Structure 1
Amino acid sequence: MTDLLAHVESIWQAVVPQLPDFTVEVVPSIDSTNSELMRRARQGRHEPVLLVAEDQTAGRGRVGKGWHSRPGQSLTFSLALPLSPADWSGLSLAVGVSLAESIDPQVRLKWPNDLWWQQRKLGGILVETASNGTPDAPRMLVVGVGLNVNRPDAVALASGSAPAGTLAPMPPAGVAELIMGITVGELFERVAAPLVRDLQLFEARGFEAFQDRFAVRDALQGLSVVLSDGTQGVASGVSRQGALQVQTASGYREVTSAEVSVRPC
């Protein structure tokens, strides 16, 4: 945990001019940083806070999936921020853009919320919101991020086989394969403050400010894909609202993150 603590002051100094009541908390172990910040939000605590844990015992991914972490081997943190954008569409994609740009030019984004390198998963994003009980007040946004620093043990992380007609998942990747020798704390400092700034940009301008930036890193662009309902097509970028556009035999179809899981054929 010493490595993480060594970078907290720099992160706080970079963010606090824009968010005067901003804090950074480091804990050795927790069930889930997202769960903890959502609990606080529901209890009426609405201060901006960045919570990072060396170990998560019950980390959560999208659609109920677990997120595996190992002390010193992965970066797991959540950011709670009161936010009131005109349109929430495309938020997880904007978070992915921010993280990918902070890490390395080679990092790609697999719609809707995975970071990829060489077609291997490097990290994931979980976005949740909670009302503060006041109708016109900003909602509390909680963004959870899990990034592999060292390459995980693919055997230990394997859970089930790939669906019929799809490829078996590639072994996960680690940021240290891209940036030799990087530590968890160094990666934390690298991504945290830019993420806060990009979320403030999203609040002001929505996904429009990120659409072109996402397109540069779109890992699915031009690939044949199969949707969770069995529909096949070719991924053709994302809409202004962040929906995946797929050219199918019956025409273009826009897919939202709540509807499908997308895997390369």
Structure 2
Amino acid sequence: MSASLAGGAEAIWQAVVPDLPGFTVEVLEEIDSTNTELMRRARTAPLDPVLLVAERQTAGRGRLGRGWHSRPGQSLTFSLGLSLAPRSWSGLSLAVGLVLAEQLHPDVRIKWPNDLWLMGRKLGGILVETAGQADDREGPRSVVIGAGINVARPAESALAGAPASPMGGVPPAGLAEVEVGVTPAELLPRLVPPLVREVLRFASEGFAPFAARYAARDALKDRELRLSDGSTGSACGVAEDGALLVRVNGQLRRVDSAEVSVRPC
């Protein structure tokens, strides 16, 4: 167990358990993927509320199966698992990104649908997965919310052999560029209690109450985009359900598929 990360576990538990009875915190030195582990559990039984933190992930996953590599002391990787029954799941990853961005730094922005940006470079990513009965759309489902955040600025040498960057080869960002000396152990208790509170708020109120705050952190607003089908347009923010709005050939188009990616031109 990592003593540094585990040191804040008690404080996190005390801050969260009043809102989330039965909540536990698990801190590991190494695991394949915190999301993968909690999804394993969710497929066998409904998840009890849990925070799973790893100092190192050997097979971390991002959106669309992309790899996410973490190194001890250089990044923060964790997954929050719980059961939820929101009115709608639309916009959950945006709400999660918003909460994390607000707690990290005033300059952190959100790239729809699940990336954190700092100074135009990727700082972190969010992966939201659910498990439950396919025909049970009204009852609670287990949800796993994973986050990976670069704390130290990744060294150029560490990028060799890494997956291709969605920013066209631009190296990723690290929070230490704007908050010198920050550590994963300091970040964890700063992020988790607000994240839990806002996820519970999302479950009861949906994405609409987050929309105005999201607009203030929207990395794509008014930028020219190229969608995965090859079309281009101008980003016009997000709808109240979290769908991306893009003006293409004079028409406002909704982009809400999990399989659609957008890239600045």
Fold-level similarity (TM above 0.5):
yes
Equivalent in the alignment of 1:99: 100
- Tell me the SS of whatever aligns to 2:207: helix
Work out the CA distance in 2 between the residues paired with 1:161 and 1:102: 25
Unaligned 5+ residue runs, structure 2? none
1:123-162 paired onto structure 2 within 5 Å: 123-131=124-132, 135=136, 137-157=139-159, 158-160=162-164
Shift of 1:46: 1.9
Work out the CA distance in 2 between the residues paired with 1:241 and 1:114: 18
Equivalent in the alignment of 2:188: 188
Are the equivalent residues in 1 in contact too, given 2:224–2:234 (CA < 8 A)? yes
Are the equivalent residues in 2 in contact too, given 1:80–1:142 (CA < 8 A)? yes
Equivalent in the alignment of 2:260: 260
Work out the CA distance in 1 between the residues paired with 2:90 and 2:156: 33
Identity value in percent: 59
1:48-197 paired onto structure 2 within 5 Å: 48-131=49-132, 135=136, 137-157=139-159, 158-160=162-164, 168-197=168-197
> Which is further off, 250-259 or 39-48?
250-259
TM-score, structure 2 normalization: 0.94
Shift of 1:248: 1.1
Q: What CA deviation, in whole Å up to 9, does each residue of 1:81-106 have, x standing for no partner? A: 11000110011000000100111111
Work out the CA distance in 2 between the residues paired with 1:134 and 1:40: 20
CA spacing shift, 1:203–1:180, aligned 2, 3 Å: same
Are the equivalent residues in 1 in contact too, given 2:236–2:245 (CA < 8 A)? yes
Equivalent in the alignment of 1:232: 232
Shift of 1:155: 4.9
Q: Kindly provide the amino acid, as one letter, of the partner of residue 152 in structure 2.
A: N
Work out the CA distance in 2 between the residues paired with 1:230 and 1:155: 33
- Tell me the SS of whatever aligns to 1:179: coil
Work out the CA distance in 1 between the residues paired with 2:148 and 2:156: 16
Are the equivalent residues in 1 in contact too, given 2:227–2:261 (CA < 8 A)? yes
Shift of 1:180: 1.3
Unaligned 5+ residue runs, structure 1? none
- Tell me the SS of whatever aligns to 2:260: coil
Work out the CA distance in 1 between the residues paired with 2:115 and 2:250: 28
- Tell me the SS of whatever aligns to 2:146: strand
Are the equivalent residues in 1 in contact too, given 2:110–2:116 (CA < 8 A)? yes
CA RMSD of aligned residues (A): 1.6
